[in-house]
Amino acid sequence: MTEPEWYEDATIYSLDVKTFDDADGDGWGDFRGAMDRLPYLDDLGVDAVWIRPFYPSPLRDNGYDVADYYAVDDRLGTLEDFREFAERAHERGIYVLTDLVFNHTSDEHEWFRRAREDPESEYHDYYCWTSHLEDAHHRGNIFPEYEDGVWSYDDVAGKHYFHQFYGHQPDLNVANPAVREELYDVLRFWLDQGADGFRIDAAHPMLMPKGHNATTLEDTELDEPIDLFKRMREVVEAEQSDAVLLAEADDEPANLDYYFGDGEAFHLQFNFVMNAHLTYAVGVRDAWPLYRAHEILPDVHGVGGWVNFLRNHDEWNLLKLPEEAFEHAREYFGDDRGDSWIFERGHRLRLADLYDGDPDRIALAHGLLFSLPGSVALQSGDEIGMGADLSLPEREAVRTPMQWDDSENGGFSTADQADCYNPVVDEGTYAYDRVNVAAQRDDPDSLLSRVRELSRARDGCPEIARGDFRIVDAEPKEMWAHRFDHEGDVLLCAQNFAAEPRDAVFGFDVDPEAAERVVGGGSYRVADGGVTVMLDAHEYVWLRGEKR
C-alpha cells in the first residue's frame, strides 16, 4: 500500500490565538505568544494546528463574524507575524490550518457596508435581501434561543437581509459567481501567506436554500451544489499540492458522504456522529453508542477521511444521538442549575466537566480517540483537563485562556485579569493553580503525560492508518475492542468503560511469544488464538502481535 497523505492520520491541535499565549502583556493572546509555544505542541506530537479565526472582527461571535478576510486583527499581531508563525511551525514539521468563514460575514465587513448603502452596487448582490417579508422563504435559525428567524431589517438599505446565524452575520449569496470568485481569492491569499489548508466553517449551511426565493447552488451554472467545494479543492491544490480542505458539515449521517464529492471535494470532515456517541459512551460507561455510531456512519473509504474529536470550542452537540439518549444526556451531563444547556442541542461544558474531573476517564476517552482510524483533533486545554466557566456568556464558557502554570492568569498573560480577553479559570476544581501544564509536564501519571504517550503510540502504529479495521464484539457491555490487520500484524485496542475492573476474552490470532503491549495498563494473557484482557476501572490497552 502507498503511504497515506499527511492529513489522513494527523493529530490536529485546535487553538485560539487570542486565548493561547500573550507575549506582549496586553491581555490578548497573539501570534508571538503562539510561536513561543510551538515546542510544547511539538513535544505533544502534534502534526498540524487548526487556528480559529484571527481576522479583524467586532468579536460578537468569537471572530466568526469576519470584517476583513485579508488581514490579522491588530490585537493579535500582524500579517508578518502570521507568516513567521507558519514558517516556524513548518520548521518543526507542523502544518498550519486556518479557519475560514464563508457562509457569512460581519455586518461591519466592507462588502456589507457597500451593499446596504447602494442597491445598485455590485456588492448588494453579495447578500440576500427581500422587500416582501411575508412572501419570503422562512425557516428556523441556527441560534434559536437568540434569533427569531432568518430575516432582519436594515435601516440603511430599507430591506430585510437573510442570516442563518446571528443577526449581525448576514449570509453571503454564494449563488452569485462574483462571491465565489472572492472566496477562491481568499484561499489563494492565505496559502501564499503560509497556510497549508483550511477548516471551512458551516459547510452545510452554505449549501442550504437562501434568500427570498430559497435559492440554492442548483439554481446556478454549477451542475450541483457540491461543485462549489470541488472548485475550492481545485484552487487550493493548484496552489499547493498537499493543501487540505476540512469541512465542518454537521449534516444528517446519510448525507455526510456527499461533502467528499466522490473524492473531489473535501479531503476531511469533522466526525460529529462519532463525537456525540463516543463522548456519551464513556460518560455513561456503556459501549452501545459506539456500535450505533459505526452503523450509521457512511462508508467513505477511498473518497475522504474523518477527523475524530471529543470536544471542540462550541457546545457539545447531542443531536446525532437517538431521542432517548439525547434526553438522557441533557439531564445526565448538565450542571445542577441547568446553565450549561444551550441552543436546544447541547452543553457548553468541557470534557473534564462531562467526566466530573476524573483524569482516568478523560485519559480513557483519549485512548479510544487515538486508536480510531482517521485523524484526531484535540481541543486546546483538554489535554490537561481544563474546565468551563459557566459565568461567561454562551459558548465563551469553554473558551477561557490556556493554563500554563500557577502564576497570575495561569501564565497566559501578565496583564490585569480585567484586561484579558476572557478571564482565566481561577476558582474551584479547575482553577489554574490546580490544573496547568507545568504541574503535569514531568509527572508520568498526569493526564498530559498520558495524552502525550498516546499521541506517540499512535505515531508508532502504522496499522491505524493503513490496516483493515473491524470491531471485536465484547462482553460485558462496558468493554469495547477493535483491531487492525496490516501486513501480517494485528493491533488490538481494548477499553474498559466501567468504574470497576473487568475481564474479557477476544480473538487474537497472534504468536503468544511475540505479543507486546504498545500503550496502556492492565494485564493480559495470550493463548490458543485468543487473549484474556484484565483492565482496571477506566483503563485501556493496545496490544500488537504477528499473525499466526
Active site residues: 201, 248
d(CA 101, CA 116): 21
Q: Exposed (0-12), middle (13-18) or buried (19+): which is 224, by Cβ within 10 Å? A: middle
Nearest-5° angle of CA 211, CA 176, CA 182?
Answer: 125
- Taken as a whole, the chain contains a residue count of 548
Q: How many CB atoms lie within 10 A of CB 487?
A: 11
The string of DSSP codes covering 455-499 is HHHHHT-HHHHHSEEEEE--SSTTEEEEEEEETTEEEEEEEE-SS
Long-range own/partner contacts, residues 326-331 (CB < 8 A, 24 or more apart): 328/284, 329/280, 329/283
d(CA 402, CA 382): 10
Q: Where are the beta strands (DSSP E) in 188-326?
A: 197-201, 244-247, 268-270, 305-309, 316-317
Nearest-5° angle of CA 227, CA 230, CA 231?
Answer: 90
Q: How many CB atoms lie within 10 A of CB 218?
A: 13
Place of cell 462496558: 478
d(CA 187, CA 193): 10
